Amino acid sequence: MFLAKLESEIKQYQLFNNGEKILVGVSGGTDSIALLHGLVRLAPEYRWQIHVVHVNHQLRGEASDQDADYVAKFCEKYQIPYQIKKVDVQAKRAEDGGNKQAIARQLRYRAFQAVAQEQGIKKLTLAHHADDQVETMVMRLIRGTGPSGLVGMKRIRVLGSIQVVRPLLRIYRKEMEDYLEDCQIVPREDESNQSTLYTRNRLRLELIPDLMSYNPHVKQALLQLGSLIEEEEEVWQKWTNEGVASISTKVSEQEYLIDIKSFLSYPVALQRRMVKLILNCLTDENLPYHSIEQVLQLVVHPSPSVWIFLPGGIKGVRSYEKLRLTKDYINKAEAEWIFPLQIPGITYLPQGAIQSIISSTPFHSDTRESPHKAVFDAEQLDLAHLSVRNRRAGDRIRPYGFSGHKQVKALFMEKKIPLSQRNKQPIVVVKDEIVWIPNIRRSAIAPVTPETSRFLMLQWLEK
């Protein structure tokens, strides 16, 4: 049954050509071993040339090495060319920080691309299946997504110079388990898949079974929804591409110029999609929904000249009837800059972001003062003139708990901030007076007192 469904999927969607080289990513687990074994059985009829790549993330000690040995022996048994690639996830994380799973994925795909290039292979096939697709859709729904996010993983997607092909997206894990049992093949099992420390595992082990108690066919229902949206997204994509071509000019790989009058002639639903498409052309980061909304607000802002920072190092600049979305400013850190503070909201800067929250009740003790947070009496501040800028010659601050003023230059020296970084340090000001220097010092301006009735918390968010 599994083999027939695999062959049917490949034929229906024309995933592989006769005589084609196919690189298979194999972990040693149920999914990838079933996929590999199925492709090996079908290969003689279609003259496919199967190659295998296994990535050892070195995260599970001896168990990781045993996974690699298992894949090597499996390939040798079936005379399949293979490569074992080692990546050091922990070292990369120690160097750059970040999420362990995200770093592992990044390094894994780099290894896949390297092997594909070495072997002259244009298609990488992976064993993501129907259950994975359901988990992806539920995870995106929980975290927040638009309609396109509910399409889930694509059957074919471009990754650099290769195509990533997923032929199992309509085949469930149980079908693969039954197939391997019939073939008397015992795959490797990653014990971390049973840990509820990871969000995806909790969805698989707890939330989705709970949803099935309401509807035993909830997986099929979600997959059907994804298929319907995918068909509609093709139409939306056509309209979006045509719209972007009509309202914008691609100045360079790092800049788009938008005609505001033309842009506003489109429905808001299409405006969002056009903005998202342009932003995706400028950065690989998965931008949140509110970034798109910030651009829409910029377009209709009452001021003819205003600007914002967005994640991914993007700056949006409105100048009368034109909107510029650009990354060209990034290498101009030595110039003076100043931007209005979004209150409430998030103001994005090249180095990070400042989040501002207004409250009529005091903040909980664990969210009050710290090097990266400061709380002020909002009524004592001219919120309309709060801005963030870099340093100016002769800058002075009146530090909280300190009599008199102090030179900002002296604070930078005390904190041992390198000269090369001082012009990049954000400084929150109200008109010409310094209110707060994130991670360094708050001023004595607008302190919270027993009479305070409206609170402003500013928090620095690292990039």
The binding site comprises 27-32
Pairing of strands 338-340, 386-389: antiparallel
The three-class DSSP label of residue 155 is coil
Closest CA to 270 of 294, 247, 302, 304: 247
Angstrom distances, CA of residue 297 to CA of 189, 292, 338: 50, 9, 19
Angstrom distances, CA of residue 299 to CA of 32, 260, 271, 378: 48, 7, 11, 28
CA distance 149 to 305: 33
89 Rama sector, left if φ>0, alpha if ψ -120 to 50, beta otherwise: alpha
> What letter would DSSP give residue 342?
P
CA distance 135 to 142: 11
Three-class SS of 62-97: HHHHHHHHHHHHHHHHCCCCEEEEECCHHHHHHHHC
Q: DSSP letter string over 181-242?
A: HHTT------GGGG-TTSHHHHIIIIIHHHHHHH-TTHHHHHHHHHHHHHHHHHHHHHHHHH
List binding-site positions for ATP.
Answer: 27-32
CA distance 392 to 338: 11
Pairing of strands 156-159, 123-125: unpaired
Q: DSSP letter string over 156-198?
A: EEEETTEEEE-TBTTS-HHHHHHHHHHTT------GGGG-TTS
Amino acid at 323: L
